[in-house]
Amino acid sequence: MMLLLNLRRMIERRLNMPKYLVERYLPGITTDELAAAAARAKSTTAQMTQEGTPVRYLRSTFIPGEDKCFCLFDGPSAEIVERANERAEIPFERVVEALHIASEDLS
């Protein structure tokens, strides 16, 4: 019963966690390098969560014509998201809080 209660609390925290947009300038990056960076973001945030710092990589959008990449994360603060990106060794320009609205969220 305690395990179920802890799981419920973890899910509620994750649903209420702020979203952060990470802006990157990645000139010359290849598709394989971009996929490898995304994999590092995912594995690093999973490891940090296991260590007790809840943070999660969600997705990336790359704009090839501008060499820009925007990555979405869940996390308790911009500083934690920055730390995750530093640990994953992925360069970034800035981290800002963002609101995510999906079409399925609309009536």
Tens of pLDDT along 73-101? 999 999 999 999 999 999 999 999 999 78
Does CATH place domain 17-105 in 3.30.70.3090? yes
- Sequence-distant (6+) residues with CB within 8 A of 22 are 70, 71, 72, 73, 81, 85, 92, 94, 95
Q: What is the value of pTM for the model shown? A: 0.82
Q: Where do the domains of the chain lie?
A: 17-105
